Amino acid sequence: MSVEQPYIDIYNQMADKVKAQSSAPLNALRDDAINALAERGFPTKKWEDFQRSDMRERYATNYGMNLTQFNIDFNPYKTFKCDIQAIKSHLFFVVNDVFYSNDQKALDEIAALQKQGIVAGSLRQVAKTHPELVAKYYGKAAKWDVDTTVAFNTAFAQDGFFIYVPKQVQTDFPIQIINVMNGDLDMMATSRNLVVVEEGAKLQLLVCGHTSKKYNYLCNRVTEVFVGQYGTLEMYKLEDTEASMTNIGSLFIEQQADSNVMVNEITLKNGFTRNNINVELLGEHAELNLCGMAIGDGDKHIDNHTFVNHAVGHCKTNELYKYILNEESVGSFDGKILVNKGSQKTEAYQSNRNIVVTPTAKMYTKPHLEIYADDVKCSHGATVGQLDKEALFYMQSRGIPEAEARMLLMVAFANDVIENIKIEALRTRMHMLVERRFRGETLVCNSCTDHCTK
């Protein structure tokens, strides 16, 4: 039997129940999506965009699916108590694939945002209360033609977070979403998020991924983001999970004219990660800053795939990804920026810099620009190197032990990605987390980390 067949069978058995729990905007695409998966299967390394990450292999493990969406007896607001003060934000949790609203705090945050005109909360709920709002955007940016994990997600996803910031509105504090895997069994989570930032609106969004237990988990999270004219979005993504985690994340962004988006994606600690970012620049003078960093050790796998489409001219993309790979870890960066015919006055810069600390770690990099316009400013490049030996010796000659000197150089290398973070408290915290990570210390009790010990 194929890897896909059991999922198709489950769909056939459960679709009616899933649809009954869910609502029209989400249900509209399910059948098409499962058919696409049945037809094409999961992506394998033979697929152009998946040369380093075999999705069929990841889905071959028999995980439990929580299609009835029962609530696990776990209140993240209690477990993550000490995190709340760390960064002043509107804090929400998605536990496995269910938006958590069983705590009064979640309801209070929803109400506080509502006062500012913002609709935030569970996608499942909002699809019922505001079906026209969800239907207008849902599935409009996420494409599954080159990535059938998105089809899988569309067929099965029932919940996730939803944020709608209307015209000219700006939140008082950042919104923070913590995706947490929790459950005493191997388990799969399939969640779906939708973010709409209208004309002239502004949103700072923190999205963290954690595991609170060491079971085998797979999560597939698809996020669609729409940013209107003059809209601004800063999105900070942090992964801090266990080695037994498979994380498949797809982010689809559509930007209108004069909009400004920053995505800062840090893979601090993980298992097997595949991040896919797809950005469509649809109106002139849109600007995108895309940066990421990944720290690998053990046999971690970190694959970042990015695609930016300059559909029109006068837009700007700045892309920087950095990897620091230790031990047997494997990194892959596959980034493409497409400048269409007629997209004149495009500025696009792409850079991927990597440090492979040990001879057994591997980095695959494939930066590329595809340009069909002639009046553009573009550059791209990649470097793979080791820690600077002269700098190491210089530090040792001052009495700094080799291990400490290495750590200082790794932290220094990561610095410019962290310096892009515009929320000061988050930036400070991230500097500290990265340093702890390099020191091999546990990341306990910081905003966005595992278990709370206090």
Partner 1 sequence: MGLLEIKNLHANIGDKEILKGVNLTINPGEVHAIMGPNGSGKSTLSAVLTGNPTYTVTEGSVMFNGKNLLEMAPEDRAREGMFLSFQYPVEIPGVSMVNFIRTAVNEKRKYQGQPALSATEFLKMMRERKDLVELDNKLANRSVNEGFSGGEKKRNEIFQMAMLEPKLSILDETDSGLDIDALRIVAKGVNHLRNSENASIVITHYQRLLDYIVPDVVHVLYKGRIVKTEGRELVAELEEKGYDWIKREQGDL
Distance of closest approach, residue 398 Cβ to partner 1, in angstroms: 4
Distance of closest approach, residue 317 Cβ to partner 1, in angstroms: 24
Distance of closest approach, residue 319 Cβ to partner 1, in angstroms: 20
| CA 306 to each of CA 49, 174, 254, 284, 321: distance values in angstroms, whole numbers, following the listed order | 10, 25, 14, 21, 10
Separation between Cα atoms, residue 112 and residue 119, nearest integer Å: 10
Judged by CB, which is closer to partner 1: 341, or 389?
389
Distance of closest approach, residue 407 Cβ to partner 1, in angstroms: 10
Judged by CB, which is closer to partner 1: 201, or 320?
320
Judged by CB, which is closer to partner 1: 72, or 392?
392
Judged by CB, which is closer to partner 1: 84, or 391?
391
302, 57, 44, 328 alpha-carbon torsion, rounded to 10°: 30
What residues contact 53, with CB distance under 8 A and at least 6 apart?
Answer: 43, 45, 272, 274, 301, 303, 332
Distance of closest approach, residue 412 Cβ to partner 1, in angstroms: 3
Separation between Cα atoms, residue 166 and residue 154, nearest integer Å: 25
Any idea what DSSP says for residue 99?
E
Distance of closest approach, residue 324 Cβ to partner 1, in angstroms: 12
Separation between Cα atoms, residue 143 and residue 429, nearest integer Å: 35
Judged by CB, which is closer to partner 1: 230, or 413?
413
Site of interaction with partner 1 (CB under 8 A): 388-391, 393-402, 404-405, 408-409, 411-413, 415-416
Pairing of strands 161-165, 175-181: unpaired
DSSP notation for 354-404: EEE-STT-EEEEEEEEEE--SS-EEEEEEEEE---HHHHHHHHTTT--HHH
Beta strand segments in 182-286, E: 187-197, 202-211, 217-227, 232-240, 245-255, 260-269, 272-281
Judged by CB, which is closer to partner 1: 29, or 433?
433
Helices and strands per DSSP (H, E), number in the chain:
12, 20
| CA 11 to each of CA 303, 345, 402: distance values in angstroms, whole numbers, following the listed order | 29, 47, 55
| CA 184 to each of CA 20, 72, 79, 191, 241: distance values in angstroms, whole numbers, following the listed order | 27, 10, 16, 19, 16
Judged by CB, which is closer to partner 1: 31, or 416?
416
Distance of closest approach, residue 78 Cβ to partner 1, in angstroms: 36
Which amino acid, one-letter code, is at 126? V
Separation between Cα atoms, residue 419 and residue 424, nearest integer Å: 9
Judged by CB, which is closer to partner 1: 298, or 381?
381
Contact yes or no for 337/310 (Cβ under 8 A): yes
Judged by CB, which is closer to partner 1: 276, or 354?
354
Bridge partners of residue 338, in order along the sequence: 309, 370
Distance of closest approach, residue 389 Cβ to partner 1, in angstroms: 8
Judged by CB, which is closer to partner 1: 31, or 404?
404
